[in-house]
Structure 1
Amino acid sequence: MNSPVEKPWILGLTGGIGSGKSAAAQHFIDLGVHLVDADHAARWVVEPGRPALAQITEHFGDGVLQANGELDRAALRKLIFEVPDERRWLEALLHPLIAQEIASHLARAESPYAILVSPLLIESGQYAMTQRVLVIDAPEHLQIERTLARDQTSAEQVHAILKAQATRQDRLLHANDVVVNDRDLAWLHNEVERLHHFYLTLRGGQS
């Protein structure tokens, strides 16, 4: 008799802004690993025609919609930024929906393990959906340098984002694996390949 196919185990992948998390994620995809991006899931749940968008509009009014019926993120951000209670209301609505969305996409994985990549893996509690956590880490001066080179943003804004994201200590406390990405892309690709081969040997994400 054929033994049942084991369900893929889930690796959580996270890192601060400018750490190289996205470059690492892309290389895992290139190696054939099924990957779900929590940021994409957060966008999918508020698409026109989905129940969440109707509830958001009902709560905040039509001012949070663009002319084409899509969510106006900037308008919504402004509303919740100023009123913590409104932010909590929105999070209570969206977090369970995002978790469901992520779970249903992860369930389609056909690779031996699948990846949930999320900048807020630790803060949002999404790491509870994973069996193992990989943190892409980088010295803060490099995070700032890379982000300034990539985004049209100010050093103040980068510092504000760094403050809002989980502290490095917090992320590292939850990490099973850490890659300090302070070299070039070729080196990062090598590290990802090394981890990938190791992950293929793991059952359920634990060594």
Structure 2
Amino acid sequence: MPNKNVRPFLEALAGHWPDAKTELVYSDVYTLLVSVVLSAQATDISVNKATGPLFKLAGTPQAMVALGVEGVGRYIRTIGLWQGKARNVVALSEILVAQYGGEVPHDRDALEALPGVGRKTANVVLNVAFGEPTIAVDTHLFRLGNRTGLAPGATVRVVEDQLLKRIPPDMLMHAHHWLILHGRYICKARLPECWRCNAAPWCGLKTKSPPPAVKPPSRKHVAA
């Protein structure tokens, strides 16, 4: 994607997703953090179904520690890798209580030191909760970065660095939400729906996918 196409490409996404935000349901920084940890290799829909009942009972680090690994596990069994995630949620809650007075730290290194929290999760929390212009590269952003030519790279970190370099500073705050929603609902993994993409004119994908063929109406044979 030529540099001249980056801004109009993102402006087209912004026009399609003017109210773009995370689809995880949360009430504060702590429940956001837990939701993002649980969302690894899982859909936001599946996480929201589990955290609704979980957060009613344990919406604070103290309550989550009291619930314990087995208790947390009962609520998140429908989420992939739930055993390890239950352990991580309780362990990170213990650290928040012991070291940060039950608060989620506004610091990348401190966040990434928590069990189950990697760079992507830290980027989401820093962006959504603390208003930092970070880019959280998930499978959607990695795919779009390479497919569109916006930020090609062989690794997640390379794509992130490319995005931070190429996205105009005034668009960084919301860009990762535009890209996530676009990748989730239009520029899909198996088949990008280029025919309904308003950013297609600026996209670097050489062969755009055509609209699905319209099937002719079936004719009912009438007996003579």
TM-score by length of structure 1 reads 0.29
| Bigger helix share | 2
Flag the structure with more relative contact order, 1 or 2, with Cα contacts below 8 A and sequence separation at least 6: 1
Query: Which structure: larger Rg?
Result: 2
TM-score by length of structure 2 reads 0.28
